[in-house]
Amino acid sequence: MKILVTGGAGFIGSNFIHFVLQNTTDVSIVNLDALTYAGNLENLREWEGDSRYQFVHGNIIEKELVERLVSEVDTIVHFAAESHVDRSILNPEIFIQTNVLGTYVLLEAARKEGKRFHHVSTDEVFGSLASDEPSFTEKTPYDPRSPYSATKAGSDHLVNAYFHTYGLPVTISNCSNNYGPYHFPEKLIPLVITNLLEGKKVPVYGDGLQVRDWLYVEDHCQAIWQILQKGVLGATYCIGGNGEKENIWIVKRIIDLLKKDEASIEYVTDRPGHDRRYSIDFSKATRELGWQPTVSLEEGLEKTVHWYEENRSWWENVKSGAYKEYYNEQYGKRV
């Protein structure tokens, strides 16, 4: 099998490539990535020169490039997306371009070639839950609250439409908040870890009682692989980590793991439209795929903190922009 992975230099995409190449011998990967600020080829340094791995520098909105690559593979696993809510509030346009238009370009290429298409999405498309409301399921109505989640909802609907209209063999997964190695340090967990390691304050939005379900990234990769092997075409699968906690709990637990002081916490003005709670019911994935998370939140946080302690040069270079300067020299800036 040959898989086109879009956004494979990003956090979840690079972890998925590691997972596939480490656990199979008959699968090869083509990694298409535009190397925007969150894309980092250092994540995949160990696979350079491996015959089963190929990197292509390009953007998913580049129609001719996408059509050529899709014609050469069996399956598309689509991670590429602008994903940070705060950035979507400041500049929605790039989110619309990448998340909606880019998904359309990929779907059109897949339709012309009749290729299998898996779309990686988010639980944020379902909106916000009150503390006493049941968890999101595959039947939860969409109710996006940010430009980011609205564009992901739009791309989900496009994927579903291509299944019903054209019979394209698709699946969708809506996952909860991922964490683990290679996570860009603007998101909560890596930001807390790296700020504490640098002796900086840790910003916490509002009262810090926003609840998220946390999914260790390798568990997510295993779920995607199971969907590719066993998933029902046209189906959506909710993927959760069984790790529902308040943001402030996460912050304080990392402080404990790093033996720091809670004086490091700095409460800041809450994000506009900040969803209060996400929660995932992944029973369909367990029932149909035999999948469930294997890494507890406690174990995953310990592993993640240890990884950032052991890979300080990686995140220091990410924060300083050193990798990006190198990539611009090597590849040139792309749209």
- Domains in the chain, CATH or no CATH each: 2-182+215-245+278-295 (3.40.50.720)
Q: Tens digits of per-residue pLDDT, 33-91? A: 999 888 999 999 999 999 999 999 999 999 999 999 999 999 999 999 997 788 889 99
Catalytic residue among 33, 82, 123, 156: 123
Neighbours of 298 (CB within 10 A): 11
Is 124 catalytic? The answer is yes
* Number of Cα atoms under 13 Å in the Cβ half of residue 111: 16
Do 60 and 104 touch, CB atoms closer than 8 A? no
- Told to judge if 270 belongs to the known catalytic residues of this protein, a careful annotator would answer no
The string of pLDDT tens digits covering residues 225-239 is 999 999 999 999 999
Q: Which residues pair with 55 in a beta bridge?
A: 31
User: What is the Cα–Cα distance from 274 to 279, expressed in whole angstroms?
Assistant: 15
Both tokens of 241, joined, read: 């980590």
Annotated catalytic residue, options 33, 82, 104, 124: 124
Q: What are the tens digits of pLDDT across the range 165-212? A: 999 999 999 999 999 999 998 889 999 999 999 999 999 999 999 999
Catalytic residue among 53, 104, 148, 237: 148
Residues facing 277 on adjacent strands: 211
Instruction: Say whether 148 is catalytic.
Output: yes
Residue 126 CA to its chain's centroid (Å): 16
Question: What is the percent of the chain where pLDDT is above 90?
Answer: 87
C-alpha angle 315-183-39 in degrees, rounded to nearest 5: 80
Count Cβ atoms within 10 A of the Cβ of residue 289 and give its class: 0-12 exposed, 13-18 middle, 19 or more buried.
buried
pTM of this structure: 0.94
Pairing verdict, β 244-246 and 211-216 = antiparallel
CA–CA gap between residue 29 and residue 8 (Å, rounded): 9
